[in-house]
Chains A and B, each alone.
Chain A
């Protein structure tokens, strides 16, 4: 992974280039290198998080995120509303600082975004930056290296630099390992393998196709594999809604038969009356979504919205009224149908909550042995609320990805960046009639994937060629 920092061996494994030019003075020449960004304060929840960019497109990125405003005064803190350039959705009101090069940390144009430290905001800003053309997540130690290359670090500072780079590389390696153990890592490795093989076959066709008897259909096979990979990557990227949920909030819908206490639960969770609560059934009429923070996750809570919009369903029943036709009907339709989906292909989750536990006789039998797993709660007394909150935290973590155990936000932005880059390059493969151009597209695509999985040298390609084909005369 570190090799990306340098100009590297595996230029074959090329991702976007990222070395900045060394300049003696003046503003960065356009195109002098990619613009990088990174969360430069620590990971995790904190009051203020600092996101930094460095490179020629920094000013452009700042203008785009703070549109329609102009660049702020150089080296002055200014308050700006940041919004996502793609959706226009507001992200945060943040303090921004504009450091035109060379008077900046790295010597290049730099921007600092001081944003509110929640994972949702940080992830939102990182993803917004990633969507600006010419920007990409920084590799380990890249800011420091740029600063160094531009003569911005003095020698005492440089003493610690190697250690720092080492630590960063180590941290990233460990992070990568952790990630690569996970489902995503498994997927990425699989994709990288497919792509490497497809590329090796195209390369074999170029280097040996003419005089040697490669089997028929080498290219067709590569085409098929690339097409399948495009579909898989596309689906993955569309499905990668976790980050988006973290930004815009998880849709939690409270549902149940009339008068099960749905509005009471919404009020309890949001700690302010948002619904009109009445013992009369059917009092709630208008769709209301209440933004609440549940165990650190942004949640849009509603007791009226349709179930199809829900990421998480809180199914409520009156514990004292389980035998009623409306309860039975609800269990048979809603609970059973969501529960029947296998956990892997379902994006919807469901928690069954039995309200009004205060009405059950303390000595009496439980609500019934046939019920699916459930939680007991009394909205009236608050009994069982802690248990519900803990269960909710777990569910939300599963829906959003838990920042404390999942790949950190920055890594996630990096993933998305490279997966999208890979997908774009695969698109070029299809369009290219010239085989050298088509192979180039595959090389770029593979470069993106191997940034995530490691490896990516030419030798791998040659190994596959000689293993799969009897070439040479």
Chain B
């Protein structure tokens, strides 16, 4: 955790739930290391709830290291990677070479069947404060230059992105007593499906504080633009995580929020969320002391900007393996994303696939219809990105289906069966939950009373009794003021048992809320999945292939992105319907040829059996 001391948030919390559903680590570690748990968007509907927590940096690091170092069969070696070891490609796969290990900065080598690069901001990383720049991956760490050169030489298309981090402030120098105090949720909602509670009681958690910028802050920014090279650069930074300088420039004359967040239980530092800046260090303190509550604040470490290389993510497959180099996988900021959660989502997918690749199993790909992870990776691999990519719920077309509550039903079962990445215990829990939900929903559908009877049973529900039609219990559960408890009180048999597990009861309520829309969404999802099921051959050479009539422009686009399915191809901007039809035809002919071949081999088999039968009869 080298930037903000928090995990989750809106959209990001969804990713964490999905990472956890695949037995990824970050959610479980966060449940052991958080100091302030809060669910965002509580009032806006369970589909967009955002699980979030302030995390103790030190605890997170300790707990994560403990978990990793205690993982059976895992060897951990630390060292900066300088180069890749490349060998002849495997003939049955595309790619011009194969990676077989890495060279460390001390010249030693580590051989591997597959390699995942997660370079963060280190590839040719450059730190900017004021007018000063110096090469660094993050403050105090060397950048990775040799590796960047190797990747460029291999032919990867490289781009440049920037991000920033705020100064850190000494806790005891802040006057919290005049600031707006925000306390955590009670009870805390854990990130992981396997946890019912987090490690710390709500009353022992730390508060956050809110303050605001003022016109004097604007003035300091505007007066010192000439001392601020990061702001002027053309490198693309994120629009949604802007520095205080860009906020002042783009939205002048406004008060901007500054959240004062704890860095940890026993940390002396406060992280001023919203004050990412690259002014010269002395001006940073001057600006900060203009802000209410920070009048006497001491800056312990200045904020700074980072500029770094990323590789156009259209050069990787949905399993995160590169097109160019076999068995080389990319995850995180190297693919143009930002955020711990986005990185974790790619990390778990890259890890699964690196392992599947070695054991020669088919890749594990999450579709847009299955999870935020799928949306993230599909956006990256088909559209690329020109700014640090962050997850938003608005990017997700099936938002009502892909909720934080049901990530386990969506991914855990697949993860267990197709990827082998899920523990037996988690798998069994997800299976139990899934079948209980299905059973519960069908029971709720089967209970029908006239609306007048419902009204008598649950007087607090705003059920209209004007029409005397039978109403299902599931429809009654849709009312805001009704939950499983009130339903079970009204109809104890057979509903009582569904209230014993809190999570089950809550999830039934959520399913009821979205039931009618989910039915339609399911139809749409089926449609998308049909196109996703039409695979394009991986070794198709779009530039030279003759059987498909395609314009040069479309060929170039397909060649670069190498979509794996007709669905992905159709999402690439500029690929025309005519091109899609041509591709479709190509796929169909290939399929037909293949199934004809399978058919004939089956016939042979049958003939053999028949022969044997005859022999026996004789």
A-facing mask of B373-402, CB < 8 A → 1, else 0?
A: 000000000010000000011110111100
Q: Which of B548-573 contact A (CB under 8 A)?
A: 549, 566-567, 570-571, 573
Q: Which residues of B contact A5 (CB under 8 A)?
A: 577, 580
CA of A116 to CA of B612, assembled, Å: 65
Contact A9 B242, beta carbon cutoff 8 Å? no
B578 lies within 8 A of chain A by Cβ: yes
* Cβ distance A469 to chain B, nearest Cβ, rounded Å: 8
Interface assignment of A161: CB less than 8 Å from any CB of chain B: yes
The CA-CA distance from A206 to B50 in the complex, in Å, is: 10
Can you name 21 A-B residue pairings with CB atoms under 8 Å? A6-B531, A6-B570, A7-B530, A9-B573, A11-B524, A12-B397, A17-B527, A19-B527, A33-B527, A141-B577, A158-B585, A165-B578, A166-B576, A169-B578, A203-B394, A212-B257, A436-B46, A458-B397, A470-B247, A470-B251, A472-B238
Q: Is A145 an interface residue (CB 8 A)?
A: yes
Q: Which residues of B contact A (CB under 8 A)?
A: 4, 9-11, 40-41, 43-48, 50, 238-242, 247, 250-251, 254-257, 259, 273-274, 276, 368, 383, 392-395, 397-400, 480, 513-514, 517, 523-524, 526-528, 530-532, 549, 566-567, 570-571, 573, 576-582, 584-585, 588-589
Q: How far is the CA of A453 from the CA of B36 in the complex (A)?
A: 47
Residues of A within 8 A of B273 (CB): 473
Q: Are B41 and A210 in contact (CB under 8 A)?
A: yes
**Is B240 in contact with A472, judged by CB distance below 8 angstroms?**
yes
Is A440 an interface residue, CB under 8 A from the partner?
yes
Q: Complex: how many Å from CA A162 to CA B548?
A: 10
Q: Which of A17-39 contact B (CB under 8 A)?
A: 17-19, 21-22, 31, 33
Q: Which residues from A are CB-within-8-Å of B40?
A: 210-211
Q: CA separation between A435 and B399, bound complex, in Å?
A: 12
B10 and A208 form a contact (CB under 8 A): yes
Which 10 pairs of residues, A with B, have the shortest CB-CB distance?
A: A11-B397, A436-B45, A6-B570, A434-B45, A472-B240, A436-B47, A2-B577, A19-B527, A435-B44, A470-B251
Bound-state Cα–Cα, A162 to B47, Å: 40
The answer for the CA separation of A165 and B577 in the assembled complex, in Å, is 7
Verify B578–A162 contact, CB threshold 8 A. yes
Residues of A within 8 A of B43 (CB): 435
Q: Is the CB of B44 within 8 A of A206?
A: yes
Tell me, yes or no, whether A461 is within 8 Å of chain B by CB: yes
Q: Mask for A337-380, Cβ within 8 A of B = 1, else 0?
A: 00000000000000000000000000000000000000000000
Chain A facing B: main interface SS: helix
B400 with A437: CB separation less than 8 A: yes
- A433 surroundings in chain B (CB, below 8 A): 480
How many Å from the CB of A367 to the closest CB on chain B? 60
User: Is there an interface contact between B528 and A11, defined as CB atoms closer than 8 Å?
Assistant: yes
Please report the total number of A residues contacting B with Cβ < 8 Å. 57
How far does the alpha carbon of A14 sit from the alpha carbon of B520 in the complex, in Å? 11
Q: Which single residue of chain B is at the shortest CB-CB distance from A471?
A: B240
Whether A11 contacts B578 by the Cβ 8 Å rule is no
Residues of A within 8 A of B400 (CB): 436-437, 440
Decide: A161 and B392 in contact? CB cutoff 8 A. no
Q: List A contacts of B581 (CB < 8 A).
A: 141, 145, 148, 161-162, 165
Asked if A326 is at the interface (CB within 8 A of a chain B CB), the reply is: no
Which among A21, A140, A205, A213 has the greatest number of chain B C-beta atoms within 10 A?
A213
Inter-chain CA distance A5–B581, complex, in Å, is 10
**Residue numbers in B under 8 Å from A183 (CB-CB):** none
CB distance from A35 to the nearest CB of B (A): 13
Residue of B239, B250, B273, B589 contacting most chain A CB atoms (<10 Å): B239
| CB <8 Å contact, B395 and A458 | yes
Q: Are A21 and B576 in contact (CB under 8 A)?
A: no
With both beta carbons as reference points, the residue of chain B lying nearest to A444 in the complex is identified as B520
Within 8 Å by CB of B571, from A9, A145, A207, lies: A9
Contact B531 A19 (CB under 8 A): yes
Assess the B241–A472 pair: CB atoms within 8 A: yes
Cβ of A209 and Cβ of B44 under 8 Å apart? yes
Residue of B nearest to A13 (CB): B397
Query: CA–CA, A2 to B573, complex, Å?
Result: 12
Residues in A neighbouring B576, C-beta threshold 8 A:
2, 166, 169
Tell me the complex Cα distance, A166–B259, Å: 54
Complex: A161 Cα to B589 Cα, angstroms: 14
**In the complex, A3 has a CB within 8 A of chain B:** yes
Residues 433-473 of chain A, each 1 if its beta carbon lies under 8 Å from chain B, else 0: 11111011001000000000000001001100110001111
Residue ID in chain A nearest B241 by CB atoms: A472
By a CB distance below 8 angstroms, the chain B residues around A14 are: 397, 524
Return chain B residues, CB-CB under 8 Å to A286.
none
Q: How far is the CB of B337 from chain A (nearest CB, A)?
A: 15
Q: Does A389 sit within 8 A of B, measured CB to CB?
A: no
Give the contacting residue for A458; candidates B4, B239, B394, B580; CB below 8 A: B394
Chain B residues, CB < 8 A from A9: 383, 570-571, 573
Asked if A8 is at the interface of the complex by the 8 Å CB criterion, the answer is yes
B392 touches A462 (CB 8 A): yes
B372 to chain A minimum Cβ distance, whole angstroms, is 13
Q: Does A386 contact B (CB under 8 A)?
A: no
Say yes or no: B578 contacts A207, CB within 8 Å.
no
A437 cross-chain contacts in B, Cβ below 8 A: 45, 47, 400, 513-514, 517
Question: Out of A140, A141, A207, which one reaches B11, CB within 8 Å?
Answer: A207
Do residues B578 and A166 form an inter-chain contact, with CB atoms below 8 A?
Answer: yes
Q: Which residues in A have their C-beta under 8 angstroms from that of B251?
A: 470
Most chain A CB within a 10 A radius of its CB, from B240, B241, B383, B577: B577
| CB proximity of A421 to chain B, nearest CB, Å | 12
A206:B41 contact, CB within 8 angstroms: yes
The answer to whether the Cβ of A155 comes within 8 Å of any Cβ in the partner chain is yes
B241 lies within 8 A of A473 (CB): yes
The residue that B48 contacts in the complex, of A11, A148, A165, A206, with Cβ under 8 A, is A206
CA–CA, A461 and B43, complex, Å: 22
Asked if B570 and A162 sit within 8 Å, CB to CB, the answer is: no
Bound-complex Cα distance A22 to B533 (A)? 11
A107 to B15, CA, bound (A): 41
Residue of A nearest to B394 (CB): A203
Whether A216 is near chain B, meaning CB under 8 Å from some CB there, is no
Report how far A190 CA is from B584 CA in the complex, Å.
Answer: 36
A219 → B minimal CB distance (Å): 10
**Residues 103-142 of chain A, each 1 if its beta carbon lies under 8 Å from chain B, else 0:** 0000000000000000000000000000000000000110
Are A470 and B527 neighbours in the complex by a CB distance under 8 Å?
Answer: no
A residues in contact with B397, CB < 8 Å: 11-12, 14, 443, 458
A163 at interface (Cβ–Cβ under 8 A)? Answer: yes
Known: A162-B582, A213-B256, A440-B399. A6 touches B394 (CB 8 A): no
Name the one of A2, A33, A473 contacting B274, with C-beta atoms under 8 angstroms.
A473
* B529 closest partner in A (C-beta): A7
- Output the least CB separation between A171 and chain B (Å): 13
Q: Is the CB of A207 within 8 A of B10?
A: yes
B393-A169 in contact (CB<8A): no
Tell me how far the C-beta of A210 lies from the nearest C-beta in chain B, rounded to whole angstroms.
4
Q: How far is the CA of A151 from the CA of B570 in the complex (A)?
A: 20
- Bound-state CA distance A9–B577 (Å) is 13
A210→B238 contact, CB < 8 A: no
